[in-house]
Structure 1
Amino acid sequence: MTQSAVLPETTVEVEASVARRPWQRWALLAAGLVVALTLPWVIYPPVAMDIACWALFAVALDILLGYGGLLSFGHAAFWGGSAYVTGLVALKAGVPFPLAVLAGALAAMVLALPVGYLSVRRSGIYFAMVTLAFAQMVFFVVNQGGKVTGGENGLQSVPTSFFGIEAVETDSFYFYYAALPIVVAGLWFAWRIVHSPFGRVLVSIRDNAPRARALGYDVDKYKVAAFVLSAGLAGLAGGLYAISHGFVSLQEVNWTTSGKVVLITVLGGIGTLWGGVVGAAIIITLEDQLASSGFEGTGTITGAVFVVVVLLFRRGVWGTARHLLARRRE
């Protein structure tokens, strides 16, 4: 994956757009919130929850990829690691699921600290391969830890405890609305990260690391911080996914999960945040429709869609639409 294949929006473009039309940002946020609130009325609630989880996961990766310029093929370790911790906390402690999810996210951040510290010493394809290697180590540990993780059987019957409110604990429709504030909070936190001074420094490191280092910024520390924050948001998404499905399997820590979130992020448009949401909606809905129709080559179709988007829409679906609209207004 190179910057020539997919083009993230620059900070200048984004800042100029917001400065010219700040009302559009609020209109877009309001429209997104309306869509999120009405989604389980339109599609099957568990699928709506999957879209929300994968959207947050893609946004988490976009902080690292779109704004930090670091392509990670190991984020399944944080998504899946959090899912296992969340499942274990929910099973053993019986706490309400928001607390179990928070514990999973914190565990993902703790795991990301040494991984990020060792990984950021490399860049480009070398960084991607190092993160993939660490993720495969996590997969091996989870697979071998049968007494704790369930091994190949995973964790079964993960409870959806929510302060004794039966409707949320037994009905996926109400669970969606109980979990949605966590997703929204995660998305808001991601927005704050990239629009803070930290986010601007991160973009400057992406664009020209030697110059940022010459200005006095500790490049490696910024990259590690971005890596840990990205892992925490990925863990938040993974924990919710585990609670929503009621089980955790080895698939959550498999390398294909890392590949899927990269596909979603690039499909929507890297360096946009909204692109992750759009990409998740496209891929998860497409997978659900194909699976419902009995089609077995789901991966072939999603792969073909990805190839078409990379070849024809170098900024991704959301990034291209936004770029074209901006050009028409000039």
Structure 2
Amino acid sequence: MMNPQRLPLGYLALLAALLVAPALVYPVLVMKVLCFAVFACAFNLLLGYTGLLSFGHAAFLGGAAYLTAHALKVWAVPTLVGLALGTLGAAALGWVVGSLAIRRQGIYFAMSTLALAQLVFFLFLKSEFTGGEDGLQGVPRGSVLGFDLSSDTHLYYLVLAVAAGAFWLIHRSIHSPFGQILKAIRENEPRAISLGYDVDRYKLLAFVLSAAVSGLAGALKTLVFSFATLSDAHWHTSGEVVLMTLLGGVGTVLGPVVGATVIVTLQNELADKVGSMVTVITGFIFAACVLAFRRGLVGEAIALYRRMIGEKVR
């Protein structure tokens, strides 16, 4: 990794840029990037640091989005309570899905998560709680500490604060003893078992944490756009987060953030120009990245830095 002494300075520079972003960029676009960056970071915790590939993470994003939307619109709970409910709901769903899927490995684990996520999707499609194909529209943003969140600027700083907290949680988890055990499981699971670690329990904890943070991203997304729809829980969204993570760099702290920024910005800039062809363009970009930058954008940048200072790169 890069020089630890320089990393905090990089984070502070990024935070400073985000603080002034609303004056330079459309705040709703930056909020969307932040939501998907949190989602991608949560997914990277599972894939990059535990070695578990999930094809069903959209179930947690969509489930939290629906629960938060219903809580704010129908139950009229305070905004922060709605966010908390969505996050806890996603964690509970993650515990159920993880308990069922964690017993499998490799492609069988991935297909199990996809199958269970599709089951959740069809439950959302047929449920009156979610509004079916119409979704839940006109979700009120409410207010926090007296600040009216109907203002995009006020909401932006709430989203930024929550996203920064989520990023800190993931960063702290990665660099804690818990994170070191996850890396050991990823590198050599039989050896971790031989050392006495309950591997399935650690995998499940990582899965639940990843689901909870993914749910937080979905809850924030509901606030930003004031609606929750089936697209939040669709398998295509699960594919997008895989793309974001691989493009930015699996197993890197900032990789998913960079990947989410690239994909969301491309979709925003090209959607009204090329329509559905935007998916083809992002596919070409992904293919080029896989062929030319197998470590992802951030991973290759770190490898280049290490070569420049004379470190050996695997």
TM-score interval for Structure 1 and Structure 2 normalised by the shorter chain:
over 0.9
> In structure 2, what is the Cα distance between the partners aligned to 1:61 and 1:325?
26
2:67 to 46, 65, 85: 85
> In structure 1, what is the Cα distance between the partners aligned to 2:116 and 2:265?
30
Which residue does 1:137 correspond to in 2? 119
Shift in Å at residue 323 of structure 1? 1.1
> In structure 1, what is the Cα distance between the partners aligned to 2:178 and 2:299?
23
Shift in Å at residue 294 of structure 1? 4.9
Shift in Å at residue 301 of structure 1? 0.6
Structure 1 residues 292 and 227, CA gap change in structure 2 (3 angstroms): same
- The answer as to whether partners of 1:95 and 1:161 remain within 8 angstroms in 2 is no
2:50 to 68, 81, 103: 68
| Amino acid in the other structure paired with 2:67 | V
1:148 to 129, 132, 135: 129
Which residue does 1:238 correspond to in 2? 218
> In structure 1, what is the Cα distance between the partners aligned to 2:22 and 2:159?
12
2:17 to 22, 29, 35: 35
Shift in Å at residue 232 of structure 1? 0.4
Runs of at least 4 residues of structure 1 off by over 4 A? none
Find out whether 1:302 has 2:298 as its counterpart.
Answer: no
RMSD: 1.3
Find out whether 1:49 has 2:27 as its counterpart.
Answer: no
> In structure 2, what is the Cα distance between the partners aligned to 1:64 and 1:163?
32
> In structure 2, what is the Cα distance between the partners aligned to 1:74 and 1:181?
27
Find out whether 1:121 has 2:110 as its counterpart.
Answer: no
Find out whether 1:94 has 2:76 as its counterpart.
Answer: yes
Shift in Å at residue 273 of structure 1? 2.1
DSSP-derived class of the 2:227 partner: coil
| Amino acid in the other structure paired with 2:38 | L
> In structure 2, what is the Cα distance between the partners aligned to 1:182 and 1:40?
16
Which residue does 1:269 correspond to in 2? 249
DSSP-derived class of the 2:307 partner: helix
Within a 5 Å distance, the mapping from 1:207-226 to structure 2 comes to 207-226=187-206
| Amino acid in the other structure paired with 2:75 | A
Within a 5 Å distance, the mapping from 1:174-185 to structure 2 comes to 174-185=154-165
Residue by residue over 1:183-210, the C-alpha shift from the partner in whole angstroms, topping out at 9 and shown as x without a partner, is: 1100000001110100000000000000
Residue by residue over 1:216-267, the C-alpha shift from the partner in whole angstroms, topping out at 9 and shown as x without a partner, is: 0011101000000000000000000011100010001100000000100110
Residue by residue over 1:51-103, the C-alpha shift from the partner in whole angstroms, topping out at 9 and shown as x without a partner, is: 00000000000000000000000000000000000101111232332221111
| Amino acid in the other structure paired with 2:56 | G
Shift in Å at residue 214 of structure 1? 0.2
> In structure 2, what is the Cα distance between the partners aligned to 1:25 and 1:60?
20
| Amino acid in the other structure paired with 1:227 | F
> In structure 2, what is the Cα distance between the partners aligned to 1:143 and 1:296?
23
> In structure 2, what is the Cα distance between the partners aligned to 1:165 and 1:294?
42
> In structure 2, what is the Cα distance between the partners aligned to 1:281 and 1:163?
27
> In structure 2, what is the Cα distance between the partners aligned to 1:94 and 1:193?
33
| Amino acid in the other structure paired with 1:218 | D
> In structure 2, what is the Cα distance between the partners aligned to 1:41 and 1:108?
33
| Amino acid in the other structure paired with 1:131 | T
1:313 to 273, 279, 293: 293
- The answer as to whether partners of 1:94 and 1:161 remain within 8 angstroms in 2 is no
| Amino acid in the other structure paired with 2:140 | P
Q: Unaligned stretches of 5+ in structure 1?
A: 1-13
| Amino acid in the other structure paired with 1:57 | F
- The answer as to whether partners of 1:155 and 1:247 remain within 8 angstroms in 2 is yes
> In structure 2, what is the Cα distance between the partners aligned to 1:234 and 1:189?
13
